[in-house]
Amino acid sequence: MANLAAVVGTGQTSYTTKRGDVSIAGLVREAAVNALNDAELTWDDIDAVIVGKAPDMFEGVIMPEIYLTDALGCNGKPMLRVHTAGSVGGSTALVAASHVQSGTFKRVLTVAFEKQSESNAMWALSNPQPFSTHLNAGAGGYFAPIIREYMRRSEAPYDVGIKVAVKDRLHGARNPLAHLQKPDITMKEVEESFMLWDPIRFLESCPSSDGACAMVIANEELAEQAPRPPAWIRGVAMRSEPTMYAGREEVNPQAGRDCAADVYKQAGIKDPRKDLDVAEVYVPFSWYEPMWLENLGFAPEGEGWKLTMEGATSLDEGGDIPWNPSGGVLSSNPIGASGMIRFAEAARQVRGDAGDHQVEGAKLALGHAYGGGAQFFAMWVVGSEKG
């Protein structure tokens, strides 16, 4: 049985196209300092640092953890780097949590980041390989056929993705840190934006952002002494599956279903739509909301899109299960940090710290990340109570 652990501080930068005023170290540092300030702690209070970012080739900084030790106050402390592609922000938080749950450390700082303005993420995730035709697809090109297959199977109306794109940007307009600020966005505007990878339109895609996110995770004793309400970690799970096997179920990956079942079991969740108050889920392309609504058990297979269209996931429509009140990945996407932002935003919700995008009275929240070709999954459930 793992020891209890809780988030006692979160820190983020604001998200934007280009932070030319800071180095990568300066960007990462900003989020870390914000998390320490939120927890009312200093570098000396941290026992270990767990850092995550997307693959090195994205920014071309090989082993950034070496370059970041002084910026993250790691002098004389253990520092670890986690790698799981786009899900890395979530996996990093889970590795950090496990070091506290195991009793190895009392209080850890965890940080994830991406400076997309200095990177080549679009093509670095679609490498040519010997003896193969270069796919040259980028992320959207990879996921578009999977979305098409979802549309075919579910017979969902064509504008479900458009609705998600509008909903998440309206959520993002409530969040001052969000990169895209589009309070007046309309279905028509999204529909008329150009088609990038059919069926994914420009405004149905995530932006490219610079930014970083950090959290301080502490053991039960220290969390009880924390100046602000802790977000108790009620369940943690990761699952992986191979990307390149052509027979894999890509629309509704088994690893995602298994990961969700595991994390719900730990948190005592039987009906996620009913038992959870809010979810921050990795939706980089609009149609991934209905797809993950099904994969994560919020709706039966083939019916996720109905929740979206009913407004169940919308804060503005008073939905019963708001998804991505922060604006989600569709409003801010510093890739390596995006998973951790989901986890930190889930924690903010149950700490009552989410400002204008607070889901009133939120007590139990899901944070979710996926990465690779939807092959890595990382999830946690956090609560305002120990459980």
The helix/strand/coil state of 254 is: helix
Q: How far is the CB of 17 from other proteins (least distance, A)?
A: 13
Q: How far is the CB of 27 from other proteins (least distance, A)?
A: 9
Q: How far is the CB of 25 from other proteins (least distance, A)?
A: 6
Nearer to other proteins, 23 or 102 (CB): 23
Nearer to other proteins, 24 or 299 (CB): 24
Q: Which long-range contacts (CB under 8 A, 24 or more apart) does 178-186 make?
A: 178/15, 178/326, 178/327, 178/331, 178/332, 179/14, 179/15, 179/16, 179/17, 179/207, 179/209, 179/211, 179/331, 179/332, 179/333, 180/207, 180/327, 180/330, 180/331, 180/332
Q: For residues 276 and 381, is the Cβ–Cβ distance under 8 A?
A: yes
Residues that bind other proteins (CB under 8 A): 19-26, 29, 43, 57, 59-60, 70-75, 115, 117-120, 123-124, 127-131
Nearer to other proteins, 74 or 218 (CB): 74
Q: How far is the CB of 22 from other proteins (least distance, A)?
A: 5
Tokens of 175: 């969040």
Q: How far is the CB of 115 from other proteins (least distance, A)?
A: 8
The helix/strand/coil state of 227 is: coil
Nearer to other proteins, 20 or 361 (CB): 20
Q: How far is the CB of 151 from other proteins (least distance, A)?
A: 33
Q: Which residue has the tokens 């028509």?
A: 188
Q: How far is the CB of 343 from other proteins (least distance, A)?
A: 24
Nearer to other proteins, 3 or 37 (CB): 37
Nearer to other proteins, 57 or 196 (CB): 57
Nearer to other proteins, 124 or 196 (CB): 124
Beta-carbon-side half-sphere exposure of residue 179 (alpha carbons within 13 Å)? 24
Spatial CA neighbour of 347 closest among 39, 1, 28: 39
* Cα–Cα dist 51/105, whole Å: 15
Tell me the Ramachandran region of residue 352: left when phi exceeds 0, alpha when psi lies from -120 to 50, beta otherwise. left
Q: For residues 284 and 371, is the Cβ–Cβ distance under 8 A?
A: no
